[in-house]
Structure 1
Amino acid sequence: MTSLARGFLATAVVVWATAARSAEVADKKALTLDGAKKVAAAAAAEAARNNEGAAIAVVDDGGNLMYLERIDGTFAAGARISIGKARTAALFKKPTAAFEDIIKNGRTAMVALEDFTPLQGGVPIELDGKVVGAIGVSGAANQQQDEAVAKAGAAALK
């Protein structure tokens, strides 16, 4: 075999191996702890601006808790509710308000889904059009305020 043929064959093997490897693994953006803290800080600042209480949970794209903060005076159950809202928004890749509306319109079977919190106040965190996590807020004056605080937090990474 000539050196030109060997060089061509070696190049072909490297290209094939690289293509095969890239088909097996995908590069993706991931929310870091610093990013989760930045999201929560922006949400807490929005809550403070409006003189609101809030329990703020930030999860990764798999719904795993990364950061939790409960502003002084916020009811204790808000912490668990905010985690549920964040997990639901991350796993379903949409705001939890959408599910609350679906249920209000008669699709009550959705409440039977395991580990599902269809209450307004959970918002996905997106980077470059991909969901990298979510934020859930509970404990503001009403569910619209929960969502407004969550949106302010999610916007911190844009």
Structure 2
Amino acid sequence: MFKILIPLIVLFLHIAPAQAQVVQTKTISLEAAKKVAAEAVKYAHRVNAPGGAIAIVDAGGALVYLERLDNTFSAAAEVSAKKANTAATFKAPSSKLETAINGGRQALITVGHTFLQGGVPIVFNGEVIGAIGVSGSASAQQDEDIANAGAKASFN
């Protein structure tokens, strides 16, 4: 009996710590990303934005959905995705980081992200599940306003 029991105990001791190290996280789905983008587009039209690229990324910063409005310069798609990636990976609006750099924290530039206003985390039940980035509207402030409108989308 001990020949069977001891290997089982050893196996259990090896499995238990591994399970304790797993963290469950939530991330945005394609369906939810489309809702976020739709809210952002609705707001952009309401404020007569001249264009804009709207990127939605998951909690890890990977692109889930991109929508580019008519009359938006092509590089805006890439910039919006990078703003969203920055907001997701730092779990903070990209404007906060831009402000830090402008305030003298220039070493942030070296970490390889896009520290431009217009990236906003998407929060669900208190957890960052992704982010939205907007580029190519009338101004940096309008980019952020559009992103904020999208980030407020309801998932219920």
TM range (shorter): 0.7 to 0.9
Q: Residue in 1 aligned with 2:121?
A: 124
Q: 1:104 and 1:122 mapped to 2: Cα distance?
A: 17
Aligned-pair CA distance for 1:46: 0.6
Q: Residue in 2 aligned with 1:4?
A: none
The range that moved more, 20-29 or 140-149, is 20-29
TM-score, normalised with respect to structure 1: 0.84
Q: Residue in 1 aligned with 2:35?
A: 38
Write the deviation string for residues 22-61 of structure 1: whole angstroms up to 9, x where unpaired. Answer: 5243333221000011101110111011111110000001
2:152 is aligned, of 145, 151, 155, to 155
RMSD across aligned positions (CA): 2.0
CA contact (8 A) 1:120 1:146 kept: yes
* Amino acid of the structure 2 residue aligned with 1:103: I
Q: 2:25 and 2:103 mapped to 1: Cα distance?
A: 36
Q: Residue in 1 aligned with 2:66?
A: 68
Equivalent residues in 2 for 1:9-48 (5 A)?
20=16, 23-48=20-45
TM-score, normalised with respect to structure 2: 0.85
Q: Residue in 2 aligned with 1:59?
A: 57
CA contact (8 A) 2:26 2:59 kept: no
Aligned-pair CA distance for 1:113: 1.4
* Amino acid of the structure 1 residue aligned with 2:70: D
1:100 is aligned, of 98, 101, 106, to 98
Q: Identity of aligned pairs, percent?
A: 52
Q: 2:28 and 2:83 mapped to 1: Cα distance?
A: 17
Q: 1:28 and 1:64 mapped to 2: Cα distance?
A: 15
Larger CA Rg, structure 1 vs 2: 1
Aligned-pair CA distance for 1:122: 0.1
The alignment partner of 1:39 has SS state of: helix
Unaligned 5+ residue runs, structure 2?
Answer: 1-8
The alignment partner of 1:132 has SS state of: strand
Name segments (4+ residues, structure 1) moved above 6 Å: none
CA contact (8 A) 1:121 1:137 kept: yes
